[in-house]
Amino acid sequence: MILAMAFIPLVLLVPHKFSLLFAMGGGCFLAAIGLVRGPEKFFYSLLEGEKLKWTIAYGASIFGTLACALVFKSRPLALICAIAQVILFSIL
């Protein structure tokens, strides 16, 4: 995620690069938290009642970010998905 933050000034020029780095950083960050807390306990905490909808939304934003950046190569959609990912990451 720190590498993605280095690209913040270039978000308007190359949003797909920022989106891709931020998606990978977010996944690594969640994996690290899962390893610290214990994978099973962390997994079940993400599937609890109120957190379930935010977990699904965050997963969809990561998938959308990667799809827009790698498959569709759409800069505006990648930027929108990255913004959604930042907002949802702060909620989780």
- For residue range 7-56, list pLDDT tens digits in order: 677 777 777 777 778 888 888 988 999 999 999 999 999 899 888 999 99
Judge contact between 58 and 92, C-beta under 8 A.
yes
> How many domains are contained in the chain?
1
pLDDT of residue 7: 66
In a domain, 20, yes or no: yes
Q: Can you give the residue range of the structural domain that contains 80?
A: 15-91
Stronger pLDDT, 4 or 27, i.e. the higher one: 27
Helical (H) or strand (E) element with 53: helix 49-66
In a domain, 52, yes or no: yes
